[in-house]
Amino acid sequence: MNWMPGKNQRSLVQAKVKRTWDASIKLTLC
């Protein structure tokens, strides 16, 4: 998967952002 590091990095960042959003949404709802 090293032939496209940019795409891999972007997907990793998206996953991290999604986790952060999920956590913040849960905190807001509680």
Say if residues 24 and 30 touch (Cβ distance below 8 Å).
no
Query: According to the model, what pLDDT value does residue 21 have?
Result: 93
- Distance from the first to the final alpha carbon of the chain: 39
Query: According to the model, what pLDDT value does residue 22 have?
Result: 92
Encode pLDDT of 1-30 as tens digits: 566 667 778 888 999 999 999 999 888 876
Please give the DSSP secondary-structure letter assigned to residue 19.
Answer: H
The pTM score is: 0.51
Q: What is the three-class DSSP state of 2?
A: coil
